[in-house]
Protein backbone atom coordinates (compact mmCIF):
# COMPACT_ATOMS: atom_id res chain seq x y z
CA UNK A 1 0.00 0.00 0.00
CA UNK A 2 1.53 3.33 -1.03
CA UNK A 3 1.18 6.32 1.24
CA UNK A 4 -1.31 9.11 0.62
CA UNK A 5 -0.20 12.75 0.76
CA UNK A 6 -2.45 14.89 2.97
CA UNK A 7 -2.87 18.26 1.28
CA UNK A 8 -2.52 20.85 4.04
CA UNK A 9 -5.06 23.52 3.10
CA UNK A 10 -4.44 25.38 6.36
CA UNK A 11 -0.72 25.82 5.61
CA UNK A 12 -1.27 26.74 1.95
CA UNK A 13 -3.94 29.28 2.95
CA UNK A 14 -1.61 30.75 5.60
CA UNK A 15 1.09 31.21 2.95
CA UNK A 16 -1.38 32.94 0.65
CA UNK A 17 -2.54 35.26 3.47
CA UNK A 18 1.06 36.20 4.26
CA UNK A 19 1.63 37.07 0.62
CA UNK A 20 -1.60 39.14 0.57
CA UNK A 21 -0.64 41.03 3.74
CA UNK A 22 2.60 42.08 2.02
CA UNK A 23 0.65 43.15 -1.09
CA UNK A 24 -1.76 45.21 1.04
CA UNK A 25 1.13 47.01 2.75
CA UNK A 26 2.60 47.90 -0.64
CA UNK A 27 -0.74 48.95 -2.14
CA UNK A 28 -1.06 52.48 -0.70
CA UNK A 29 -4.84 52.11 -0.39
CA UNK A 30 -6.61 49.95 2.17
CA UNK A 31 -8.77 47.32 0.47
CA UNK A 32 -12.33 47.20 1.80
CA UNK A 33 -14.71 44.24 1.93
CA UNK A 34 -18.42 44.69 2.66
CA UNK A 35 -20.26 41.72 4.10
CA UNK A 36 -24.06 41.65 4.09
CA UNK A 37 -25.62 39.23 6.53
CA UNK A 38 -29.40 38.82 6.70
CA UNK A 39 -31.15 37.07 9.58
CA UNK A 40 -30.07 34.93 12.50
CA UNK A 41 -28.67 31.72 10.99
CA UNK A 42 -25.99 30.73 13.55
CA UNK A 43 -23.72 29.04 10.97
CA UNK A 44 -23.79 32.16 8.76
CA UNK A 45 -22.85 34.31 11.76
CA UNK A 46 -19.84 32.06 12.44
CA UNK A 47 -18.77 32.19 8.75
CA UNK A 48 -19.06 35.98 8.66
CA UNK A 49 -17.11 36.37 11.91
CA UNK A 50 -14.32 34.19 10.50
CA UNK A 51 -14.22 36.18 7.27
CA UNK A 52 -14.01 39.48 9.13
CA UNK A 53 -11.23 38.18 11.39
CA UNK A 54 -9.30 36.98 8.34
CA UNK A 55 -9.71 40.42 6.72
CA UNK A 56 -8.27 42.16 9.78
CA UNK A 57 -5.23 39.88 9.79
CA UNK A 58 -4.16 40.88 6.27
CA UNK A 59 -5.06 44.59 6.63
CA UNK A 60 -8.38 44.59 4.74
CA UNK A 61 -11.03 46.88 6.24
CA UNK A 62 -14.38 45.18 6.67
CA UNK A 63 -17.75 46.89 6.41
CA UNK A 64 -20.43 44.84 8.07
CA UNK A 65 -24.12 45.13 7.35
CA UNK A 66 -26.27 42.96 9.60
CA UNK A 67 -29.90 43.10 8.52
CA UNK A 68 -32.91 41.71 10.40
CA UNK A 69 -34.65 38.50 9.25
CA UNK A 70 -37.72 40.47 8.08
CA UNK A 71 -35.82 42.97 5.91
CA UNK A 72 -37.42 43.58 2.48
CA UNK A 73 -35.86 42.88 -0.92
CA UNK A 74 -35.82 46.66 -1.58
CA UNK A 75 -33.95 47.34 1.66
CA UNK A 76 -31.25 44.78 0.89
CA UNK A 77 -31.04 46.14 -2.66
CA UNK A 78 -30.50 49.65 -1.25
CA UNK A 79 -27.69 48.35 0.96
CA UNK A 80 -25.97 46.73 -2.05
CA UNK A 81 -26.34 49.94 -4.04
CA UNK A 82 -24.77 51.98 -1.22
CA UNK A 83 -21.78 49.62 -1.16
CA UNK A 84 -21.54 49.73 -4.98
CA UNK A 85 -21.27 53.53 -4.71
CA UNK A 86 -18.83 53.57 -1.77
CA UNK A 87 -15.27 54.06 -3.10
CA UNK A 88 -13.76 52.61 0.10
CA UNK A 89 -15.51 49.29 -0.60
CA UNK A 90 -13.74 47.15 -3.21
CA UNK A 91 -15.51 43.86 -2.60
CA UNK A 92 -19.11 42.98 -1.69
CA UNK A 93 -20.18 39.64 -0.34
CA UNK A 94 -23.71 38.59 0.47
CA UNK A 95 -23.63 35.69 2.89
CA UNK A 96 -25.84 32.85 1.63
CA UNK A 97 -28.39 31.50 2.26
CA UNK A 98 -30.72 34.45 2.74
CA UNK A 99 -34.25 34.03 4.21
CA UNK A 100 -36.80 32.43 1.84
CA UNK A 101 -38.80 35.62 1.20
CA UNK A 102 -35.76 37.21 -0.48
CA UNK A 103 -34.66 36.43 -4.04
CA UNK A 104 -30.91 35.88 -3.67
CA UNK A 105 -30.27 35.64 -7.43
CA UNK A 106 -31.82 39.05 -8.07
CA UNK A 107 -29.79 40.53 -5.20
CA UNK A 108 -26.49 39.00 -6.36
CA UNK A 109 -26.99 40.45 -9.82
CA UNK A 110 -27.25 43.95 -8.32
CA UNK A 111 -23.64 43.71 -7.13
CA UNK A 112 -21.21 45.69 -9.29
CA UNK A 113 -19.32 42.90 -11.16
CA UNK A 114 -16.03 44.69 -10.36
CA UNK A 115 -16.84 44.26 -6.64
CA UNK A 116 -18.33 40.75 -6.95
CA UNK A 117 -15.64 38.93 -4.93
CA UNK A 118 -17.74 35.74 -4.89
CA UNK A 119 -17.71 35.66 -8.70
CA UNK A 120 -21.44 34.92 -8.88
CA UNK A 121 -22.74 37.66 -11.19
CA UNK A 122 -23.53 36.75 -14.80
CA UNK A 123 -20.63 38.92 -16.01
CA UNK A 124 -18.08 37.03 -13.91
CA UNK A 125 -19.58 33.62 -14.62
CA UNK A 126 -19.66 34.48 -18.34
CA UNK A 127 -16.01 35.56 -18.27
CA UNK A 128 -15.05 32.26 -16.63
CA UNK A 129 -16.84 30.25 -19.32
CA UNK A 130 -15.39 32.45 -22.07
CA UNK A 131 -11.85 32.03 -20.75
CA UNK A 132 -11.51 35.77 -20.04
CA UNK A 133 -9.25 36.00 -17.01
CA UNK A 134 -10.23 39.59 -16.12
CA UNK A 135 -13.23 38.34 -14.09
CA UNK A 136 -13.57 37.27 -10.46
CA UNK A 137 -13.40 33.51 -9.96
CA UNK A 138 -15.59 31.97 -7.21
CA UNK A 139 -13.54 31.37 -4.06
CA UNK A 140 -14.06 27.67 -3.27
CA UNK A 141 -13.33 26.37 -6.79
CA UNK A 142 -10.38 28.78 -7.07
CA UNK A 143 -8.99 27.50 -3.77
CA UNK A 144 -9.59 23.88 -4.78
CA UNK A 145 -7.62 24.38 -8.00
CA UNK A 146 -4.73 25.86 -6.00
CA UNK A 147 -4.74 22.74 -3.81
CA UNK A 148 -4.75 20.43 -6.84
CA UNK A 149 -1.85 22.38 -8.37
CA UNK A 150 0.10 22.17 -5.12
CA UNK A 151 0.38 18.45 -5.92
CA UNK A 152 0.55 18.52 -9.72
CA UNK A 153 1.32 21.68 -11.68
CA UNK A 154 0.51 20.36 -15.17
CA UNK A 155 -3.04 19.01 -15.36
CA UNK A 156 -3.18 18.78 -19.16
CA UNK A 157 -4.93 15.64 -20.39
CA UNK A 158 -5.91 14.45 -16.90
CA UNK A 159 -9.41 13.12 -16.45
CA UNK A 160 -11.15 15.20 -13.79
CA UNK A 161 -14.47 14.14 -12.30
CA UNK A 162 -16.43 16.75 -10.36
CA UNK A 163 -19.38 15.41 -8.34
CA UNK A 164 -21.89 18.24 -7.97
CA UNK A 165 -23.11 20.87 -10.44
CA UNK A 166 -24.08 23.81 -8.25
CA UNK A 167 -23.55 27.36 -9.49
CA UNK A 168 -21.53 28.08 -6.36
CA UNK A 169 -19.09 25.25 -6.84
CA UNK A 170 -19.53 22.37 -9.31
CA UNK A 171 -20.05 24.38 -12.50
CA UNK A 172 -17.20 26.88 -11.96
CA UNK A 173 -14.90 24.06 -10.78
CA UNK A 174 -15.53 22.16 -14.03
CA UNK A 175 -14.74 25.32 -16.03
CA UNK A 176 -11.47 25.89 -14.18
CA UNK A 177 -10.37 22.31 -14.82
CA UNK A 178 -11.36 22.58 -18.48
CA UNK A 179 -9.21 25.72 -18.73
CA UNK A 180 -6.32 23.59 -17.41
CA UNK A 181 -6.90 21.23 -20.37
CA UNK A 182 -8.39 18.45 -18.28
CA UNK A 183 -10.99 16.12 -19.72
CA UNK A 184 -13.87 16.97 -17.41
CA UNK A 185 -16.85 14.89 -16.34
CA UNK A 186 -19.53 16.53 -14.22
CA UNK A 187 -21.50 14.03 -12.15
CA UNK A 188 -24.73 14.77 -10.24
CA UNK A 189 -27.72 13.11 -8.62
CA UNK A 190 -28.92 11.59 -11.92
CA UNK A 191 -25.52 10.17 -12.92
CA UNK A 192 -25.62 6.42 -13.55
CA UNK A 193 -22.88 4.18 -12.17
CA UNK A 194 -21.26 6.95 -10.18
CA UNK A 195 -18.73 4.54 -8.72
CA UNK A 196 -17.50 3.56 -12.20
CA UNK A 197 -17.34 7.23 -13.25
CA UNK A 198 -15.28 8.12 -10.17
CA UNK A 199 -12.87 5.25 -10.80
CA UNK A 200 -11.87 6.93 -14.09
CA UNK A 201 -10.72 10.10 -12.32
CA UNK A 202 -7.11 11.20 -12.09
CA UNK A 203 -8.56 14.16 -10.19
CA UNK A 204 -11.70 13.55 -8.15
CA UNK A 205 -13.56 16.50 -6.66
CA UNK A 206 -16.52 15.77 -4.40
CA UNK A 207 -19.02 18.55 -3.61
CA UNK A 208 -22.29 16.92 -2.69
CA UNK A 209 -22.94 17.34 1.03
CA UNK A 210 -23.30 13.62 1.91
CA UNK A 211 -21.03 12.28 4.60
CA UNK A 212 -18.41 9.74 3.41
CA UNK A 213 -20.36 8.97 0.22
CA UNK A 214 -17.23 8.35 -1.86
CA UNK A 215 -15.72 5.03 -0.78
CA UNK A 216 -12.08 4.02 -1.00
CA UNK A 217 -12.99 1.50 -3.73
CA UNK A 218 -14.33 4.37 -5.93
CA UNK A 219 -10.91 6.03 -6.08
CA UNK A 220 -8.39 5.32 -8.85
CA UNK A 221 -5.04 4.46 -7.23
CA UNK A 222 -2.85 7.57 -7.15
CA UNK A 223 -5.69 10.03 -7.83
CA UNK A 224 -5.74 13.55 -6.39
CA UNK A 225 -8.89 13.79 -4.26
CA UNK A 226 -10.40 17.14 -3.26
CA UNK A 227 -13.11 16.86 -0.64
CA UNK A 228 -15.30 19.97 -0.63
CA UNK A 229 -18.20 18.58 1.39
CA UNK A 230 -18.76 19.71 4.96
CA UNK A 231 -20.99 17.39 6.96
CA UNK A 232 -21.75 17.33 10.67
CA UNK A 233 -21.67 13.80 12.10
CA UNK A 234 -23.71 12.49 15.03
CA UNK A 235 -20.75 12.93 17.37
CA UNK A 236 -20.66 16.62 16.41
CA UNK A 237 -17.44 16.30 14.40
CA UNK A 238 -17.12 17.43 10.79
CA UNK A 239 -16.40 15.09 7.90
CA UNK A 240 -16.25 15.36 4.14
CA UNK A 241 -18.00 13.61 1.25
CA UNK A 242 -15.10 11.16 0.92
CA UNK A 243 -14.40 8.35 3.37
CA UNK A 244 -11.03 9.71 4.44
CA UNK A 245 -9.91 6.53 6.24
CA UNK A 246 -10.72 4.30 3.26
CA UNK A 247 -8.97 6.71 0.89
CA UNK A 248 -5.66 6.23 2.73
CA UNK A 249 -3.26 4.14 0.72
CA UNK A 250 -5.41 4.46 -2.43
CA UNK A 251 -5.49 8.18 -3.26
CA UNK A 252 -2.19 9.78 -4.22
CA UNK A 253 -3.18 12.91 -2.33
CA UNK A 254 -6.29 14.05 -0.47
CA UNK A 255 -7.60 17.13 1.34
CA UNK A 256 -8.78 16.59 4.92
CA UNK A 257 -12.05 17.94 6.35
CA UNK A 258 -11.62 20.21 8.21
CA UNK A 259 -8.33 21.82 7.21
CA UNK A 260 -8.45 21.31 3.44
CA UNK A 261 -10.68 23.32 1.13
CA UNK A 262 -12.35 25.42 3.88
CA UNK A 263 -9.36 27.63 4.75
CA UNK A 264 -8.65 28.17 1.05
CA UNK A 265 -12.14 29.56 0.46
CA UNK A 266 -11.54 32.42 2.88
CA UNK A 267 -7.99 33.03 1.61
CA UNK A 268 -9.30 33.31 -1.97
CA UNK A 269 -11.99 35.75 -0.81
CA UNK A 270 -9.21 37.97 0.54
CA UNK A 271 -7.25 37.46 -2.69
CA UNK A 272 -10.22 38.59 -4.81
CA UNK A 273 -10.71 41.64 -2.55
CA UNK A 274 -7.06 42.67 -2.88
CA UNK A 275 -7.25 42.15 -6.67
CA UNK A 276 -10.39 44.32 -6.79
CA UNK A 277 -8.62 47.07 -4.81
CA UNK A 278 -5.63 46.91 -7.18
CA UNK A 279 -7.93 47.20 -10.19
Q: Would you tell me which residues interact with ligand NAP (CB under 6 A)?
A: 140, 163-166, 168-170, 187-191, 194, 207-209, 228-230, 261-262, 265
Listed residue (34, 113, 114, 130) closest to 79, CA to CA = 34
Nearer of residues 188 and 278 to ligand NAP, judged by Cβ: 188
Residues belonging to the active site: 51, 95, 118
Which helix (H) or strand (E) segment is 109 a member of? Answer: none
Q: How far is the CB of 184 from ligand NAP (least distance, A)?
A: 15
Residue 260 is classified by DSSP as S
Q: What is the DSSP string of 158-197?
A: -EEEEE---TTTHHHHHHHHHHTT-EEEEE-TT-SSHHHH
- Minimum CB distance to ligand NAP, residue 118 (Å): 11
Taking the complex as a whole, how short is the minimal distance between the CB of residue 70 and ligand NAP, in angstroms? 25
- Using the minimum distance from each CB to ligand NAP, give the nearer residue, 61 or 215: 215
Residue 114 or 265: which CB sits closer to ligand NAP? 265
Nearer to ligand NAP, 155 or 230 (CB): 230
What are the distances in angstroms from CA 274 to CA 58, 59, 227, 269? 10, 10, 27, 9
Q: What is the smallest separation between the CB atom of 21 and ligand NAP, expressed in angstroms?
A: 21
Amino acid sequence: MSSTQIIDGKAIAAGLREDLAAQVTALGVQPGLAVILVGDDPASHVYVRNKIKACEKVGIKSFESRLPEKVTQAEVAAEIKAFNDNPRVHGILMQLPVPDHLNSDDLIHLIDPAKDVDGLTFINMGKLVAGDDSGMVPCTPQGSLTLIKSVEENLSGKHAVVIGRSLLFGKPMAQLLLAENCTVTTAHSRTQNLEEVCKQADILVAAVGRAKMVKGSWIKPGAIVIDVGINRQEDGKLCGDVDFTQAQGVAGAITPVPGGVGPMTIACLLKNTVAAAKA
